Amino acid sequence: MEMRINCGMNMTDKVSTTEKIVTAAMLVIGDEILSGRTQDTNSSYIARWLGELGIRLSEIRVVPDVQAEIVAALNSLRARYDYVFTSGGIGPTHDDITADAVAAAFAVPIGPHPQAMAILDAHYKPGEFTEARQRMARIPDGAELIDNPVSKAPGFHIGNVFVLAGVPMILQAMLESLRHRVTGGAKMLSTSVGGAVAEGHVAGALGELQVQFPDVSLGSYPYFRRAEPGSDKVSSYGVNFVLRSTDAVRLALARDSVRAMIRAQGVEPEDRD
């Protein structure tokens, strides 16, 4: 269920009905994610980081280390969303092709960036700024660098695209340094209530609440616990209800209604926040 901006008449509401919804996409570049060897945690980190800034992550794509795939995905996403964040493929080895792919997507030349060369030259011991490492200073024309306080090799920012490292520790540090370059809109607030109810018992009431609160997104997420590891048998189950809105007052009202809906099943609701 897509969230809609609050149209209520509550005068304490600080969110304007005309405030822009700012969107973003995440493009994860990496064979290691597609093989299942590495679990992508960067997307969920960026999702929460963007949420704090009032930017809504609206799509995630994971593509392999193949230039044509990166170019096609990037051009599709950057045309559609306010911001695009990429992760991965900016190191010194042969499989690090992201900078070239981004240059190709923007149809701009790529070459050694003087400031990036200087940062890396100063970082390495004499003779250690190898040809391979100089690859990390190749930046598309017109891009601005993104600081990397961990291992120095910078990310970069061109148009509405932010190119970040794949190593989570570096990606997270880069995000902090680019915070002032993005502008958010209405901030999505969220809250969660759970209970040992069956989805099928509350679905009707929940659907009615969604009609009553068109300005609050009501998500319903059942959970099951296995009786034993690997077993198909369930020992316990329940539902987490996640409520999201840009309007704190409406969110609190909707949560009270969800709590009452759970109590009507003879179950005590549990706050999950």
Question: What part of residues 167-226 is at the interface with a copy of itself (CB under 8 A)?
Answer: 167, 169-170, 173, 188, 190, 192, 199-204, 206-207, 210, 217-224, 226
| Least spacing, CB of residue 254 vs a copy of itself, in Å | 14
| Least spacing, CB of residue 59 vs a copy of itself, in Å | 6
**Beta carbons within 10 angstroms of residue 168's beta carbon:** 13
What Cα–Cα distance (Å) separates residue 137 from each residue in 5, 76, 84?
43, 26, 21
| Least spacing, CB of residue 37 vs a copy of itself, in Å | 6
The pair of three-digit structure tokens given for residue 240, joined into one six-digit string:
């987490």
User: Could you say whether residue 110 binds a copy of itself (CB under 8 A)?
Assistant: no
| Least spacing, CB of residue 20 vs a copy of itself, in Å | 18
What Cα–Cα distance (Å) separates residue 50 from each residue in 27, 53, 74, 138, 171?
14, 5, 19, 28, 13
Nearer Cβ to a copy of itself, position 112 or 222?
Answer: 222
| Least spacing, CB of residue 84 vs a copy of itself, in Å | 14
| Least spacing, CB of residue 211 vs a copy of itself, in Å | 9
Give CB contacts under 8 A, 24+ apart, made by 151-156: 152/119, 152/120, 152/123, 153/90, 153/91, 153/92, 153/116, 153/120, 154/116, 154/119, 155/90, 156/99, 156/102, 156/113
Contact with a copy of itself (CB under 8 A): which of 9, 79, 94, 109?
94
Q: Quick one: which of 61, 72, 70 has its CA closest to 25? A: 61
The pair of three-digit structure tokens given for residue 194, joined into one six-digit string:
């759970």
3 state SS of 63 = strand
Contact with a copy of itself (CB under 8 A): which of 22, 54, 58, 257?
58
| Least spacing, CB of residue 196 vs a copy of itself, in Å | 15
- Of residues 114-173, those binding a copy of itself (CB under 8 A): 124, 128, 130-133, 135-136, 149-151, 166-167, 169-170, 173
- Of residues 6-35, those binding a copy of itself (CB under 8 A): 28, 31-35
- Of residues 220-259, those binding a copy of itself (CB under 8 A): 220-224, 226, 232, 234, 237, 242, 244
Q: Whose structure tokens read 């990310």?
A: 155
Nearer Cβ to a copy of itself, position 136 or 158?
Answer: 136
Q: Which residues, listed in sequence order, are joined to residue 219 by a DSSP beta bridge?
A: 242
Rounded Cα gap, residues 147 and 125, in angstroms: 20
- By CB under 8 A, which span of 46-54, 103-111, 253-261, 262-270 interacts with a copy of itself? 46-54
Rounded Cα gap, residues 119 and 18, in angstroms: 43
